[in-house]
Amino acid sequence: MKRPWQLVWLLFFASLWGLSEVLAGEGFYALNVPYASVFLTVWALVILSLGRGFLNKPGTSTLIGCVAALYRMVNAAPFFCHIWGIVFIGMAFDLASSLLMKEGRKFFLKGSLTGITSAYLGNALFALVMTWILRNEYWTATGLPKVLDHVFISGSLVAAAAFGVVPLGYWLGRKVDGLPSLRARWVYSTLSLLVLGIWTLVRIVR
């Protein structure tokens, strides 16, 4: 990464994702919100598309996902299925956007296809690994019916939202990258402080 301010922005996006996983995620699950993972995954795709519009390079989405997963692991109870879910959606989006969201025209169509592909691929990868590779008790207890529900029901709900939010996030990310004023030293110095604040906020209030 040639410009350090780009890394700071990516860390900022990742920290926002991690914060939402800790605060909104735990709140949703505590209240037994139906299909809570759908809301969290849609928000994750918004963050990932912002980051990809800002810096459209292979590996950046995986980086955002790994940092968000680390935030979740450090600041909340270590439910490793949630942590793996964050990593897998980051990897799925990275693969899909690297193939489909290259620079050029038709970014809305490419962004929509990227969002839909990421929704199904991320959910499928997560469900298959949890059930038959890591053998998580929560997943093995139900087996194939739960896998199918997660891929085709939850995945379809995420895909429907991703059709619109991913190209929008990508467009906003490109607009941010195109503003020279946001590349000033004071901006990424302030962002660095915000990232530090996000990482310490939960430790203080919890």
Residue 4 lies in a domain: no
Domain that holds residue 55: 9-205
List the CATH number of the domain containing 104. 1.10.1760
The number of residues in the chain equals 206
Residue 145 lies in a domain: yes
- DSSP string across 33-53: -TTHHHHHHHHHHHHHHHHHH
**pLDDT values of the chain reduced to their tens digit, one per residue, 206 residues:** 557 778 888 999 999 999 999 989 888 988 989 999 999 999 999 999 999 998 999 999 999 999 999 999 998 877 788 999 999 999 999 999 999 987 656 788 999 999 999 999 999 999 999 999 999 998 999 999 999 999 999 999 999 999 999 999 999 998 887 776 766 777 878 889 999 999 987 777 66
Task: Give the pLDDT of residue 183.
Answer: 66
Q: Whose CA is closest to 178, among 60, 88, 56, 68?
A: 56
Number of domains comprising the chain: 1
CA 104 to CA 88: how far, in whole Å? Answer: 27
Residue 3 lies in a domain: no
- Kindly give, in sequence order, each residue whose CB lies less than 8 Å from that of residue 16, ignoring residues fewer than 6 positions away: 47, 198
Task: Give the pLDDT of residue 206.
Answer: 62
Residue 160 lies in a domain: yes
Residue 1 lies in a domain: no
